[in-house]
Structure 1
Amino acid sequence: MFNKKLLSERDICTKYISPAIEKAGWNKHIHYLEEVNITAGKILVKGSLTTRAKNKRADYILYYKDNPVAIIEAKDNNHAMGAGMQQGLEYARMLDIPCIFSSNGDGFIFHDKTAQDENIEVEIGLDEFPSPEAIWLKYKTFKGLDTPITEKVALQKYYSDGSGRKPRYYQQIAINRTVQAIAKGNNRILLIMATGTGKTYTAFQIAYILWKASVKKRILFLADRTALIDQTRKGDFKHFKDKMTVVEHRQVDKSYEIYLALYQGLSGNEDDKNIYKQFSPEFFDLIIVDECHRGSAKDDSAWREILAYFSNATQIGLTATPKETKETSNIEYFKDPVYTYSLKQGIDDGFLAPYKVLKMQFGMNSGAEQWRPEKDKLDKQGNLIEDRVYNLKDFDRNLVIEERTRKVAKRISDFLKATNRFDKTIIFCEDIEHAERMRSEIVNQNPDLCRANDKYVVRITGDNDEGKRELDNFINPEETYPVIATTSELMTTGVDAQTCKLIVLDANIGSMTKFKQIIGRGTRINEEFGKRFFTIMDFRSATELFADKNFDGEPIRIKEINEETDFEEIVAEENDLEAPISSEYDAEETVALENAVNETKETYKTKDFFSATPNKRTKVFVNGVEVTLLVEREMYFDNDGKPITKSLKDYTKDIIQARYNSLDEFLNKWNATDRKDAIIAELEEQGIFIEHLKEAVNKDFDLFDLICHIAFEQPPLSRKDRVESVKKRNYFTKYGEQARKILETLLEKYGEEGIENLENIDILKVQPLSQFGSAYEIITTFGGKSKYLQAIKELENEIYKTA
């Protein structure tokens, strides 16, 4: 009799699960996909190398049109029928799915989130699987799609250009929740998606579905930077073709259906400049507000007037960083977000690049990051310097210490020389003047490369046309130059720098919104050009904001806020004269922003932040100050993305002891695992920094001894000690001469490189192993692959026998 328990999990799927669901009406080419990758697998950084953790993959996802409606998790027949349910429930939460099935080939356990009675989970036979129509009814109940229009929108398929590109799982949720909320009559929608996760692509799919379903016939996409409009027009929205136009002139053409526009291009200080009023208030059905945390977020801003004018239109706010202060609230205007996909989620899923953080601290005559002028100290102009203690908030804002700028430029240059001098780098400075000084110092630190091409480093700021023209070259992965960009505000947002590998913070950042936007410049992944992670060099202690509970949490409305912080944030927003707007509106926008600054000054008369001219401060320039780099350390982050404040050893000990209750439990796991790199991968996914531990303790110890020593206080042995111990036991005499020489060589290789490489068959292809013949010939020496692997296992047992 046939024994089902001999079949693999894949065989169970092929022979039992697929036939069962197809019999119920699920067509393989229309209704379901097998072995679907939900995530990409978190990128793990090991020094300068990276690897990916295991991704999350569903055995089956069932679809009704483009809506994922059910999950099936399969196990082989040696497992219980419901053994895959926990995994299925996790995936269902991620995918926003109501129906979960688990099977071992005998039948299904069905978990129904729409069930109204006590039997949320029931067992059904292979011939009882629900039809697509039955599952769709449950999905409609789960989503509240109880009218013809809501169902019509839900059944509208995503746009496909034939390239095979489909929305990722979180984009699907964002799209579906948004269009379904609009179909239900919600007219203010907030969508929060981390930088680099495809907000514009998601916005396009939302607009396309609503437009195609004739729910929204005229659509306006609003942004406040030319680069964002250009990227949208040339990128995802290009599929609207001749139905789309960009509002660029005073006289608008009302024959189009999709409009892209700058706020600055629609509004002005005088009524005849308010181009948006050429449209009737009812002209647009849908307005998508890109980067809605900026100008339009404030109740009294000129840009908010545009949204108020078209108040009857459905309005969707898109942002990575919703703004919630005493003065401003995206949530108050757009309501609670329908969906949030955070930076942490993006990194954990492997869709965003992780980061390393290097914190720098300089010392001067008054201590760390402080300077007090000696008696009668004069500035470069010969003026007496005010006698007080100057700190990080003063540097490059009120006081310029030339030696400090030089030290920062040298440390950046040294870092690039140690990694790759052509890694794209953005240096965020205090203001435009500081950005220019930093550019000059970088030139002097890299004379060879700057002689070869004077665009090695450029200043990209809003006042500099030459620099702004280089912005497209900087963000283009195909272009080598510019390599380094110095900036202040211009590149904080709306810059798709796919290959940026180094973010330098040498500016005081008091705004969480701005901090998130800056970090977002490095989060994009570009595998083709080797961009899988990025480094943050922090010269201003700005990365302390990583520890703030609001850094990666759900946004909440804030009624009370520290006055000084709030003021600095207002100043940063309203005093930014760098927005890359079209030349036609530069003068108008500058006037508007200067007026905003003057209004802000009036409100905060007691605060001496400004001189007479907006955005210009009186600076004191000083030289002859001794500046030394006191501290440079790498920050580490736990699995929740929060900085680790305890020592790396103590943190590791806690993680390992939470995983293994005792030394015996760990030893059993170690000995029972065929490949030790599986344990390494498991620990790394839990946040263990193995390479850094080796450096902190002793590079001569391998993972086994590190764990036993750190977590269980066992005296560690070096790899050299373990090698000598094996040799003394004459263990190799059981093998023939050739096999013995091969194992002795492998043992020496372990002593040099550790256990990970010993388990990799590719080690047989390199010297000194390759001198014994090809990998096939070496394996044949042991009588075949299984016997070779058994010999390796025995060698490992001998290596760790003293434990």
Structure 2
Amino acid sequence: MSEISTNQNPEQIARDRIDRMLMDAGWIVQSKKRIDFSAGLGIAIREYQTSVGPADYVLFVGQQPLGLIEAKKEDDGHRLTVVEDQSADYATAHLKFFTNTEGLKYIYESTGVLTRFTDYTDPKPRGRSVFSFHRPETLLEWSKKEKSLRGRFADFPKLDETGLRPAQIVAINNLEKSFKGNRPRALIQMATGAGKTFTAATFIYRLLKFAKAKRILFLVDTKNLGEQAEQEFMAYQPNDDNRKFTELYNVQRLASTYIANESQVCISTIQRMYSILKGEEMDEFADETNPNESGSWLQQHLNKKDPLPVVYNPKVPIEQFDFIIIDECHRSIYNLWKQVLDYFDAFLIGLTATPDKRTFGFFNENVVSQYTYEESVIDGVNVPYDVYEIETHISQKGAKVKKGWFVDRRDKLSRAKRWQQEDEDTEYYKNDLDKKVVNPSQIRTIIKAYKEALRKDIFPKRIDENGEYEVPKTLIFAKTDSHADDIIQIVREEFDESNDFCKKVTYKIEEDPKSVLNRFRNDYYPRIAVTVDMIATGTDVKPLEVLLFMRDVKSINYFEQMKGRGTRTIPPDKLQLVTKTADIKTHFVIVDAVGAIKSKKTDSRPLERQPTVALKDLLQAVTMGVNEEDVFLSLANRLIRLDKQLTETEAVKLQEYANGRTLKQLTKMLIDAWDPDVIETRAKAIIEQTPPVDRSPAMEEQARQDAQKVLAKEASLLFNGRLNEYIDTVRRQHDQIIDHINLDTVLKAEWNKTSMDAAQNLITDFTAYLEANKDEIKALSIFYNQPYNRREITFKMIKEVMEKIKLEKPMLAPAYVWDAFAIIEKTNGDCPKDELTALVSLIRRICGIDKELRPYDKTIDDNFKKWIFAQNAGQHNRFTQEQMDWLRMIKDHIISSYHIELDDLDYTPFDARGGRGRMYQLFGNEMDQIINELNEALAA
């Protein structure tokens, strides 16, 4: 990209890059005033008019509008998740001259450096980063499909388990579940000899047959493994067909740069695929050994002067493969080879017997062969204000990126990444996270802990009519825009939801034309919003029930404003408009993942710094007089980007170290040192001072060389140790290490002491209320003063207690008190859904009848079993089957009504079975005695 003129404005630079990317991918870029559809299949028209304004690019394939690109300047890389709404608006708008009401299907947001893509034909459209644009032929092919690839995952039939081992069955079923959840990466950990490749052949067959995958890459790191995989496919025969795999599908083991169009499974070493992307032929020996071993092909290339980044290859589009299976992935997904995996727009599936922590990190900890999805639901809420603490190892203690590790480094603003090998250890601590270092596992661990806490502790009752958990409206406080984007991506993955589920909220109107904040307030989606600065007056979201702190706050006032976002009340009917499963908002929960509640509140914040080795080298080279165009222009490009990020204070300080010159002036001198026009002008002055008789082409060329050297020296003399150190220091503030290697673990996920104190206070208040009314309310009088008469308690009596509590003490609702007990002590079961049953359970616990809190319906069930056992003692089955049916009906009636009378036998459900007359026929003169015994025994 360095050849793009730096004199252009940032928007035009981005457009030029996008134009070039489109042309590389087979598109013809045209102006809206000069449209010529005969020029080719795919036409990208700039500034095409829609009903909501001109779209940056509309993508036409065969005169049919299929896609759209929303272009942003490079520094807006951090806003691409925000502009999803804007591009979606254009996609659903009416295009001039077209009446198509279905909208555009394939939507991109791009800065020319970072590109995101959303396929709106997916079941849950979710934006993802892509290396470049898809080809026109691809979009046309996709548009003709009834369902997208992700939509076709729903068509998987039940796995035929014949011939499969239990571990293989678990791996395949969980992998397909991961696909349906649109998880981009999955890891199958399977012991050696357990049949990893056979497992792979089975799910690859199902992907080709049922998901209609176009092409799948089976990636190995040695030729030998490739040959073994080829043999496995040749031998594999599916359960539902008499033919071999290779008779059904074309399998090609790559031995050159040629990939056959008809190939449906390609087997390749990762080093060969790298060479294919680079457009280079590779020596055959390079396939023979593991490329990560010492002295290998990788090491030889890393020792070259220039890095070997992967760039777009028109012969191998990013959509070449729908799925990539990486065999022995624990040793072949790092360093140079990671670029191969980042290049393709494909699902990644790792196979290994011996994963390490880097492997788990690379695959987003989505270990499908061990994957178990557990949800526990405990009803209710605790108190109006509660705090839940999540502590993780890295959040508390940090970690170390070690010398020799290959890691990504990312620009905070543009999101542009580069890979590099660290030449020194970088130790980071909790305050460095998401500033100096980004650890995706740390973010993911918190989100996973929060997701589990919602179901287990915080709002366990939120299950809708389809049996799905409904996430309460949640606001996450992030540290920076880049941190917010990381959180958004991981939340969407972990909760298996679409773009709409989690959004960034900002006050900047140009970033949020459709006002995500208003939708967060009033609509069902988004369920989760992530913000950096949403704290001012007027930003309250009444349905908000959870604040998740993933940033610490030093200012006490700032912190109180942030907490205040959750304090607003809302009528139950309005709350249920946006959260269907909520009953009433009686409290909100602060989930503290960074110790924000406990930290000392001050306004000071330390300046975070991180080393950038490549920049140091460039600065030092120029200072030492290295006169190479690549060095000068590379440094100039770095400084151009740095200039966009400097604060006013930083710019002034830098100018002081640069003897009064600004960073722009330094950059210009670096560029001028190799600018032919500037060199020519300087050389002309030298030539003019030379007598005409001494002038010659050789002399003039020498003058140009001398002029260039002078310009280079003038530029190099401006750089000194103090300036270089300051530039590097400032740059480190804006650059981040992406630590995918150190994995995080949960140290604690529980209510904090304040919440326990609040829970104890609630129990104390509930106990005091019961005691204060024990002589006034008949049911309480019986429980407290006449426990032997519990058999006389009726449904009406319990309802009277409940109505009095609702009227006088609504905060003592049984569900809240139950969850308070759950915080303080072990409860024997979840809170009953029926609030009267829960109330009886609580009263029995408070009065000391039960030593631990347990659902009263379970108590009745247990007492019934004991009574039946006692009746059968000494004899075999005292009661007939029909008698047992009647006894169970009586037990169920007591569960719902707490007592049974003879008159009850004349009503439902007993009347349908013959009423009291039939019971008398069955039990005779024992009928009255049995009813009395059951009333007494079950209420014990």
TM bin (shorter chain): 0.3 to 0.5
TM-score when normalising by structure 1: 0.35
Structure having the larger proportion of residues in helix:
2
